[in-house]
Every structure is written in structure tokens, then in C-alpha cells.
Amino acid sequence: MSNVSKIEKQAALIREISGVNPYKCMKCGKCSATCPAFDEMDIKPHQFVSYVQEGNIAALAESKSLWKCLSCFACVERCPRDVKPAKLIDAARQIVEREKGGDYLMADEIPTLLDPELPQQLLVSAFRRYRR
């Protein structure tokens, strides 16, 4: 697979998982204004949107922010354009985890799977995703 098409595929996958259209963003910065974990992040919530727009998923996957996001969804709640940066971050995490092989999470599998290294917020967001 060529590099370009892989990037495109990943960006499309992020859009699909998150159900978010990053092009709706008007760059107001309310997400970054809202974020309680802002200082801990290297890529700020409002930058996430441009990373997905540009298809720079590799940088996202390696960023600290991916695991620093608390999934508090404050940005989702307040985004005036329905862009929901936390959902994009969540989707990027899913992609990273899927590439590692851990595709989804069932509630009764948790005790056997529980890994002290597994970031807490991924667990929380995975529940959020699969709670139904």
C-alpha cells in the first residue's frame, strides 16, 4: 500500500469511527479554551482537527496528547460547530489500538485483559463506545 493511500485510509477511518466531519471546524479555539488537560498536551485539541484534515495521523499516534486527553468531553459539549475534538482523539486511539490487535472491548473480558499499562482513558472511552 502506498504511503499516500494509507494516510488517506487512516484519515477516513478516523472520520468514520468518530462520526465527525473535521471540515466543519471554524478554528475558534473553544475546545482548547475548555480543555482541562491543555497544559499536558503537546498537540492541542484545536490542532487535532487540522492534523486529521491534513491526514497527519502518524504524528497524532505518537503524540503525548493522545493519552493525556481525559475524555471528559468538555470540548464535545461546547464545540459550536459539532466538530468534537475528543471524539477525534478517541478515534485516533482506537486506530492505534487496532493496529496493535486489540480491536474492541467487551465488558466481561475486562478482568482477563486488564493490563496495568493500558491507559485508563482508553478503557473509559471504549466503554463509552461499546456501552450498548
Which residues contact another protein by CB under 8 A?
24, 26-35, 38-39, 44, 46-47, 74, 78-82
> What does residue 49 show for φ and ψ, rounded to 5 degrees?
-60, -45
Shortest approach of another protein to residue 54 CB, angstroms? 17
Measured from the CB atom, the residue of 28 and 110 that comes closer to another protein is: 28
Residue 79 and residue 30 in contact, taking contact as beta carbons nearer than 8 Å: yes
Measured from the CB atom, the residue of 26 and 110 that comes closer to another protein is 26
Phi first, then psi, for residue 82 (nearest 5°) are: 65, 35
User: Which position has the grid cell 502506498?
Assistant: 2
CB of 41 to another protein, least distance (A): 9
